[in-house]
Amino acid sequence: MPIYKAPLRDMRFVAFEVFKAEEVWAANPAFAEVDRDLVDAILEESARFNEEVIFPLNRSGDEEGCRVEGDTVRTPAGFREAFRQYAEGGWIGLGADVKYGGQGLPKMVTAMTDEILFGCNPSFALYPLLGIGAALAMSQHADEALNETYLPKIYSGEWSGTMCLTEPHAGTDLGIIRTRAEPQADNSYLITGTKIFITGGEHDLTDNIIHLVLAKLPGAPSGSKGISLFLVPKFLVNADGSLGERNAVHVGSIEHKMGIKASATCVMNFDGARGWLVGEPNEGLAAMFVMMNYERLSMGLQGLGASEVAYQNAAAYARDRLQGRSATGAQCPEKAADPLLVHPDIRRMLLTVRAHNEAARCFAMYVSQALDASKYGVSETDRQKGRDLVALLTPVAKAFLSDRGFDACVMAQQVLGGHGYIREWGMEQLVRDTRIAQIYEGTNGVQAMDLAGRKVVRNQGAYVRLYLEEVRSLLASLQSIPELSAFSHSLTEAVQCLEEATNLLLQQAAADAQAINAAAVDYLHLFGLVSYAHMWTMMARAAVSRRGTDAYYQHKLELGQYFMQRMLPEIDTRLAAIKSGPAAMMQFPAEYF
């Protein structure tokens, strides 16, 4: 059976020693009541609850899956009670506005609890996560009457939420959706259409489900500029807040999936269902992207949570499994063979996974800090900088962390050899469950195009220059720390590589319309690797002064060196691919395929 312990020591190091979270919160009136003692208590309880209650349901939920019964979907045994406990514990409203019953904690805190939850059970995590995202979009775009009616119930866990975008013929290209909204005399709308791949579209965990649905009004402009957002509840809500009659929205079926089988992924039919406009007409995507920025970080955290579990199980196996002898001679001559850990290739895999995990955790905190600044910054300058960094970094957080998280799960599975392919060890489920993080919430290829096209080329690299100002500020601080000269040298070269790639992308895009799409994935991975080098240098700066006090700090420095020496050089390959341009892939005629 798989094991998991929340990596609290590393989380605390990142939050309080690398990012100086207490100082950040003390300087912001929005977080005046947030301190180290409070966050430590939250992390301890999150670890305890998720390890004891949520993690044991991960495999059984995968084995049982969801099933349609009449007009509802039954979740696996134990999920309903676990969701009740999760809601009663206040976890759904942890980062929510206190005005609607939330606790108002920064994203820098909820990113850590989200990682723990995703590590323990990604299928379970999606049920509250979608409600949180829907509520976030509403809080910034819906009118106050809707928010007062729905948000407290979502944050309490009595109701849940969904995001209904995709249709059978329209995935990434939302401009061609067919779902329609007909205005009514009472300012409501009748919503008609079919949505697919709806996470938590129907289930038995809450009394009501609140759907946020993209649809088009009569006469709306064509394409994505004509999309509006509507709130469509499963049960209509009476004036006194009680539940009324069933709305005309029903589950058509559930998908039979590769992974996250305990998450109900539904086809939802809206047959003249009554809904209410969220935000302004034809501006639905703007409202939805409030939700998507947070969701995309969450998908990166899903990849990180899984790869942390994968590492812990692979490392435990490598310590215990006896197989072969060390190349330098028997290390355990009293035993029939040496542990797997004596073999360099086993160490390569484990160190690669762990180096990714610790960099990803730091990067998630970096993006979380930007998200907090974008919303709660003490000045408009701070908020704008936060918004610009969020725009640049969320596609990287989603795509790079989930790509590398999946790779890490496969690599950790490989450590177990044949046992990694067998169900009871849990590794094959990690691989299956994590694969979806590269696909939903915008495929990673789309994330790469968003980064390269909208976030780099469209503004001629302005966001990248803003980010690199922060990196150079870090490099300047290292001049007085000679012990970190190797980190400084590696990061400096990485920055130069990113600048070259960015300038090259801008030049290619000006000359060839295919260039952005052709270079996008390589550019995103190059950017991600440079960001990891940035994170490892930040962690090295925090660790170097304390390396003699605790082996943890010395090991942190050594793992950072491993990343710089063994993993960062991939940026050269990515740059070479970008330099080749689109011709190598576009020269083939369609008939070739």
Which letter does DSSP use for residue 221 in this model? Answer: P
The candidate with the shortest Cα–Cα distance to 241, out of 128, 153, 351, 134, is 153
Dihedral sign, Cα of residue 369, residue 132, residue 5, residue 415: negative
d(C-alpha 460, C-alpha 453), whole Å: 10
3-state helix, strand, coil in the chain (%, to 5): 60, 10, 25
d(C-alpha 269, C-alpha 261), whole Å: 21
Query: What are the Cα distances from residue 524, in Å, to 175, 354, 405, 497?
Result: 25, 21, 15, 13
**Contact criterion met (CB below 8 Å) for 526 and 574:** yes
For 165-177, the three-class secondary structure string (H helix, E strand, C coil) is: CCECCECCCHHHC
**Catalytic residue check, 64:** no
74, β-bridge pairs: 67
d(C-alpha 106, C-alpha 25), whole Å: 9
Q: Dump strand ranges (E) for 223-346.
A: 228-233, 235-237, 243-246, 249-254, 265-278
**Contact criterion met (CB below 8 Å) for 178 and 261:** no
The candidate with the shortest Cα–Cα distance to 277, out of 190, 160, 201, is 190
Written as one string, the DSSP assignment of 381-417 is HHHHHHHHHHHHHHHHHHHHHHHHHHHHHHHHHHHTG
What amino acid occupies position 336? Answer: A
The candidate with the shortest Cα–Cα distance to 357, out of 118, 107, 47, is 118
Which letter does DSSP use for residue 478 in this model? Answer: G
Residue for token digits 């010395």? Answer: 554
Q: Which of 167, 441, 470, 570 is catalytic?
A: 441
d(C-alpha 535, C-alpha 556), whole Å: 12
Three-class SS of residue 378? coil
Which letter does DSSP use for residue 142 in this model? Answer: S
- Residues with catalytic function: 441
